[in-house]
Chain A
Amino acid sequence: MANKNTIIKIEHLSKSFGDKKVLDDINLEVRRGEFVTLLGPSGCGKTTLLRTIAGFAQADEGVISMEGHDISAVPPHKRPLNTVFQRYALFPHLNVYDNIAFGLKLKKVPSEEIDSRVRKALKMVSMTDYEDRDVNSLSGGQQQRVAIARAIVNRPKVLLLDEPLAALDLKMRKDMQMELKQMHSTLGITFIYVTHDQEEALTLSDTVVVMSEGKIQQIGTPIDIYNEPVNSFVADFIGESNILNGKMIRDCEVEFAGHVFECVDKGFGEQSPVDVVIRPEDIYVITNTENAKFTGVVKSCIFKGVHYEMFVETDKGFELMIQDYNAFEVGSTVGMLIKPSDIHVMQKERTCNSFEGVMTDSTHVQMLGGEFECQETGLQAGDKVTVRVAFDKVELLDYKEDGTLMGEVHFILYKGNHYHLTVLTDDGDNIYVDTNDIWDNCDLVGINIAPKHLRITKRV
């Protein structure tokens, strides 16, 4: 169980701020010398997780152990790890040298050794001869280098980096990424890196941990994460992708966008609903429509530098994003092909909304913090029920006052011919909605469900 190679092990870590769960049962193992990236949109809990590892935040539940010892109760100054802060957090009253020597002086390292180690660290970050400079006279990139030097000079077992490059411009960020990767392999220190930039995560890491809403969605190598996303969130967040509703006809045969395709996925069962992910670069466009699997009309074509990005509406009314080195004229009909191995099939996380509720009388049900009318059920007040509502039967209204419930659009997924929205209600429940209307993230909406669309079963 206790792998010698494991340096940090996190088990069942949970933390809440008030009602909001920011970390929800996090389990993670970090190997010695690994470059691990915590990746997710803002508010997904990645920074909180890092702060918990550093000791600045306390978890409500769970254990963090380092080399087999529980460090949950160890204060930050005793943890053998160092942090590079997002906004550098350099001490403004100290010069570059004293900033870097800060940790070593505290440990009472002899001054000759401090001297040589500080110089070495400065060399490592290409900042030789900057010792006496005032940290505020440095540029953002230079400050970042000093911050990194200040952390690595202590030779920590684990280096934590909290979006260290977020404040730098693109060119500088790319350079620093390469340098960080170089530094990682030279130093052999374990890096735990937080970022919201998926490209950065894929470029730098040995292992990517994708997080959303306080939960780990997927842990894997960059290639795994990109090619085999486990759910539509990961597929959508990492890179560009077409995510469509599909149906597994049988093993190695999947239907989506109105056609049946050969694929390589097995074990989903026959006729089971699935999500299908196709990366935009995996759809081949040909002018010869006869040899194509299916056809479509080019709706737009934009030059993106290396490739062209096109939106094509297929013969069955699905919109696909396609990246190709060749441009195709807008309005022209093209043929398309997809290789079986490029079709990625995912288990559907859900096929319909399911809520728990209580009957208030035989035609009304209390759920999600509101009372809904339903068709005559023959049930009595107080009966506990499960209510199912199909995704496309939930009605969203422009004015939040008009609905039985209020909610906020939380996550939008385009499924080729409709949007799949996650709407967060005031009570913190998620309602999933399929709609053709265009909503924006964070829109406040009213939510209604017609009585006939509530499918109610009694819970026992």
Chain B
Amino acid sequence: MKKILDIFGKRSNWAIPYALFMAVFVALPLLLILFYAFTGNEGEFSFANFTKFVTQPEAVNTFIYSIGIALITTILCILLGYPAAYILSNRNLNRSEVTVVLFILPMWINILIRTLATVALFDFMRWPLGVGALIFGMVYNFLPFMIYPIYNTMQKMDHSLIEAAEDLGATPFRVFWKVILPLSMPGVMSGVMMVFMPTISTFAIAELLTMNNVKLFGTTIQENINNGMWNYGAALSLIMLVIIGITSLFSDEEGGDSDSLI
């Protein structure tokens, strides 16, 4: 009995369940991906999967296409989300919490349900499904993830900084350009993270909104794995992981500084 108590008594032991969880559900899958990516069908070590990716124009094209779609989605989300966040956080333009919740509300609904609803909407309006619908659906799905972090940083911004800028002679436009915009960049950065990353790897939205006509990188991975091509699928996953890892490092450098300042 005392032994059991001792186990609970030590602070560091409390981490054991989480460490186990991490090992089984995060570390192990990553290692498996790594293992499969660098092995051939017989389990031998090889770079064949990567050579296949580089030499197959189809996969590379899908990859570039996916990044393009993700970029367009992210940029549209910034263009729509930034002004929305600005208006929501501005005391002169919006005082109601309800409007904020209305903008955030879609986050509470499952992404598949929203996508199915989008399909139904396009159907009802007799608009064709395709790339346009895909971008519409992605922007609609991910917009709240852009608005929320930007809104948050703007909310937390010290209002006296804006007054200080005005006091020093800045017109409202310059106040925005020289103070609000640079100080809200950390919010934009985390917004980009939350939109860009999932849009690269998405496949369900693409399937539903383009009737399988547009293939994204996520779709390619899913197809390969579904067809038993584990090694190639793992290699593609690894490539995507590395790309996402690089973008997040990049944005960490950008946002890191200013994040700690606020």
Do A and B form a real pair? yes
Partner of A89, one of B161, B261, B262: B161
- The CA of A166 and the CA of B258, in the complex, are separated in Å by 27
- If over half of B's interface residues share one DSSP class (helix, strand or loop), that class is named, otherwise mixed; here it is helix
Q: A76-B163, A85-B160, A106-B174 are in contact. Are A93 and B258 (CB under 8 A)?
A: yes
Q: Which chain B residues in 160-192 approach chain A with CB under 8 Å?
A: 160-161, 163-171, 174-175, 178-179, 182-183
Q: Is A384 an interface residue (CB 8 A)?
A: no
Structural contact, B166 and A77, CB atoms closer than 8 A: yes
Structural contact, B160 and A77, CB atoms closer than 8 A: no
Q: Is A92 an interface residue (CB 8 A)?
A: yes
Structural contact, B166 and A76, CB atoms closer than 8 A: yes
Q: Which chain B residues in 205-262 approach chain A with CB under 8 Å?
A: 258, 260-262
- B: number of interface residues (CB 8 Å): 22
Q: Is A419 an interface residue (CB 8 A)?
A: no
Q: Is B158 an interface residue (CB 8 A)?
A: yes
Structural contact, B168 and A154, CB atoms closer than 8 A: yes
Q: For residue B179, give the distance in angstroms from its CB to the closest CB of chain A.
A: 6
- The CA of A75 and the CA of B167, in the complex, are separated in Å by 9
Partner of B164, one of A55, A85, A93, A107: A85
Q: A83-B167, A102-B178, A103-B168 are in contact. Are A92 and B160 (CB under 8 A)?
A: no
Residues of B within 8 A of A16 (CB): none
Residues of A within 8 A of B178 (CB): 102, 106
Structural contact, B167 and A136, CB atoms closer than 8 A: no
Residues of A within 8 A of B260 (CB): 136
Residues of B within 8 A of A82 (CB): 167-168
Q: Which chain A residues in 26-83 approach chain B with CB under 8 Å?
A: 54-56, 75-78, 82-83
Q: For residue B163, give the distance in angstroms from its CB to the closest CB of chain A.
A: 5
- The CA of A450 and the CA of B179, in the complex, are separated in Å by 62
- The CA of A87 and the CA of B175, in the complex, are separated in Å by 19
Structural contact, B261 and A92, CB atoms closer than 8 A: yes
- The CA of A91 and the CA of B161, in the complex, are separated in Å by 7
- The CA of A75 and the CA of B168, in the complex, are separated in Å by 12
Structural contact, A92 and B167, CB atoms closer than 8 A: no
Q: Which chain A residues in 147-186 approach chain B with CB under 8 Å?
A: 150-151, 154
Give the 6 A-B CB pairs with smallest separation, nearest first.
A103-B168, A92-B261, A89-B160, A89-B164, A76-B166, A106-B169
Interface residues of B (CB under 8 A from A): 158, 160-161, 163-171, 174-175, 178-179, 182-183, 258, 260-262
Apart from A91-B165, A93-B182, A151-B167: 17 A-B pairs, beta carbons within 8 A = A56-B167, A77-B166, A77-B170, A77-B171, A77-B175, A85-B160, A85-B164, A87-B158, A89-B161, A91-B161, A92-B258, A93-B261, A102-B168, A102-B170, A102-B178, A136-B260, A150-B164
